[in-house]
Every structure is written in structure tokens, then in C-alpha cells.
Structure 1
Amino acid sequence: MAVPKLVIILCGKRKSGKDYVAARLKEILALGDSLSVLRLSKPLKEQFAKDHGLDLEKLMDSSSYKEKYRQDMITWSEMIRDKDPAYFCCLATEGADKPVWLVCDARRPSDMSYFKSKYNGRTLCVRVVASEDVRVVRGWAFTAGVDDAPSECALDNYQVDMTIVNDDGDDLSQQLEAIRTKVKRTTT
């Protein structure tokens, strides 16, 4: 594993558009082979699917299949995190060898702590927000035990470096340009 020059960490609520922002950032940054896109949820979902005989591809997308198992995944992953808070972060970063990392889905202060302590001074924490109305249009509905759990709420008051508003109709270009400028300064 290479030591990155910069780790961009995206966080935000369900249906705020973290994956969309990550895809746009990937385009705008145009780093090609210099960017590793990391998903903390990937090793979690891989192991959960394996342990429970589930379809990994369906767990990785934004389908109702994933929502059906979300509560169970949260409970299962919390048991693992109670033993080792950095467990999924370590798995997600295995093999990451590019100068810039884009972490698409930080959910907890322990995720932020892992990256900030390990890569001190080389992190950019970005919260992606969208109004509740927009999130509803995107398919979000409040689910007790999910939307009031640490996986959704633990970073509500976390001090981030930047906030991106991702409501439909908003032009993200200007907001993402600030990140591109930071990446350019950091990596050149």
C-alpha cells in the first residue's frame, strides 16, 4: 500500500448523492491512474454477502434488495467495529497504491479518525448534503433503526473541511472546482 498524497473522504446521509458526487469528482479531477476510489462498504458487503449467502452485486447497488438487508448489515458490522473500529477501513485500503484516494462512504467518527490519524495533514473531509425533499424523490424514506442509527447520524456534528450541496438542479461544478484546486495544489 502506497502512502497517498491526499485522501478525500466523502460522508453524508443516505440518498444525499455521495456516489454521484464521487463519480463527478473522478471526472473533474481527471487523475486517471493516479486515483484510487475506495468504498468502505465494499469489504463489509462482501463479507456479509458471503456469510449470509446473499447476492453481492445487489448489495452494492441502490436497490430495494440492499435496503431489505441494511438493518442486519448495520447490526452485524457494529459487532465487528466494536472489536476493531478500523477493520473495514483497513480492508478497503488494502492494495490502494495511487497518490490520491477518494473514499466514497465514511459513516462514523472512527472512519474519519482512521484516515486523519494515519494520513495526518493529507485528508480533505467533505460532507455531501441534500434536502430531505430531494432525498425522498431519490427514494429515501425514514427507517427506524437505520436513519437514527450511528451509521447515519454519527457524523451529523462532525467538523468537515467542506460541504457540498447536492440538491437536484444545483450546479455542482463550482463546488467541485474547489476540491479540484485543493487536489492540484496538494499533488503537484
Structure 2
Amino acid sequence: MVISPKAVVVFSGKRKSGKDFIANLLQEKFSAELCAILRLSGPLKSQYAKENGLDLQRLLDSSEYKESYREDMIQWGEKKRNENSEYFCVLATSGTDSDKEIWLISDARRKTDIEYFLKYYHQKTLTVRIEATTAARKERGFVFKKGVDDVESECGLDSFSDWNHIINNNGDRETLEHELIPLINDIKKLQGLQLP
């Protein structure tokens, strides 16, 4: 039996904009029992590591190890997506956490990613763009890299404009918490919860 989530929140944003940070924050608010963070890059990295004999745990963190393979991993992922645009979305949503009530897709990068969730979970999907200034991203360790920051995996959703929410995450926790309130309320509505 396939269990369908009540809410699917699809995040997009540039590297170091804080997508994972915000997904973790929301998971804390809704609880890990109800809420799963599903990463499209997780199955990508898992398959890439398997095919290339690499350390998956080190590819999943934000280390130099991951950065040294990023460009090749992007090209490998593009090849897989060209063969089947839904490949990584299907893998990400068929894992052990797919039975949770709320899915937080922390790393949508292409229009085909958003199209997948709108196609299969249309009435349940919220699209969210995380914005951060270049200065804020640099404080988090961002350094522009040709072949990474100027390709589709980073720029594929720059022209997408049909966001349900745009969240500014420039490092002020109080401002961020305030910006998240409308998104949290929309998730609660999808869950069928009464708002205060």
C-alpha cells in the first residue's frame, strides 16, 4: 500500500542559501515522527558513490570531499535525468521516510523536479524559494565555482516564478522565524489542522 503525504513542501535556492537549515527547522517544529526531509540529491549521491566506489557519508556532508566530486556528479546526474527526468524524484520518495505525513523536499533544482511533485501531488504541494544575499551566502562558505554555479543544477529554477512562498534567509534568526509563519500555516492547513 502506498502511503500518500498530506503536505509536500518543495524548496529551491542557491548553494548556501539555507535550504537544509530551513528544512531542519521545519522538521523540528512539526516533529520527525510526522515530517521527513527528502533530498533529491540523496539518491543521486548514493548511486554516484556506488558506481564510483566513493564514501557516501562524506558525499552527503558539506565537506571538501563532496566539493571535489561536485562537477563530475552534476554531469553524471544530468545524464541520468536526460534518460528519465523523474528518476531521482521517484528514488527520493520511495525511501523509508516516505510514509510520513509531511515531506520536505530540500533541494529541487530543475523545473522537472517541481513538475514531478505538481503532477503527482498537485493539491498537496507548496513551492518555496529560499533567497539569500551573496554576502550572506559567502558568510556560510559560498565561493563561486565555474561549472557548478553557472549550470542547470544551480540555475534551472532561476526563471521559475510560480512560488507559493519566497523566504529571505540572510542570517537573522528572528526575521527568518517571522517569514516562516505563513508557510507553517499553509502546511497546517494541508494537514487539516485548525489554525490558532
Does TM, normalized by the shorter one, top 0.5?
A: yes
The 2-side partners of 1:68 and 1:90 are apart by 27
The 1-side partners of 2:3 and 2:99 are apart by 5
**What whole-Å deviation, never above 9, does each CA across 1:61-111 have from its counterpart, x for those lacking one?**
111111110000000010000010000000000041122111111111010
**What whole-Å deviation, never above 9, does each CA across 1:120-141 have from its counterpart, x for those lacking one?**
1210000111100111121111
The 1-side partners of 2:51 and 2:8 are apart by 30
Q: Which runs of 5+ in 1 are unaligned?
A: none
C-alpha contact (below 8 Å) 2:27/2:36 kept by paired residues: no
Higher RCO by CA contacts (8 Å cutoff, separation 6 or greater): 1
CA displacement at 1:54 relative to structure 2: 1.0
Query: Greater shift after overlay, 120-129 or 30-39?
Result: 30-39
The 1-side partners of 2:186 and 2:146 are apart by 38
Q: For 1:87-166, what aligned pairs fall within 5 Å after superposition?
A: 87-95=87-95, 96-159=98-161, 160-166=163-169
User: 1:26 maps to what in 2?
Assistant: 27
SS at match of 2:143: coil
User: 2:68 maps to what in 1?
Assistant: 68
The 2-side partners of 1:79 and 1:24 are apart by 33
2:27 partner amino acid: K
Q: Which runs of 5+ in 2 are unaligned?
A: none
User: 1:77 maps to what in 2?
Assistant: 77
CA displacement at 1:11 relative to structure 2: 0.6
User: 1:174 maps to what in 2?
Assistant: 178
1:42 lines up with 2:46 in the alignment: no
SS at match of 1:105: coil
State the TM-score, normalizing by the size of structure 1. Answer: 0.96
The 2-side partners of 1:25 and 1:35 are apart by 8
| Number of residue pairs the alignment of both structures matches | 187
Identity score, percent: 45
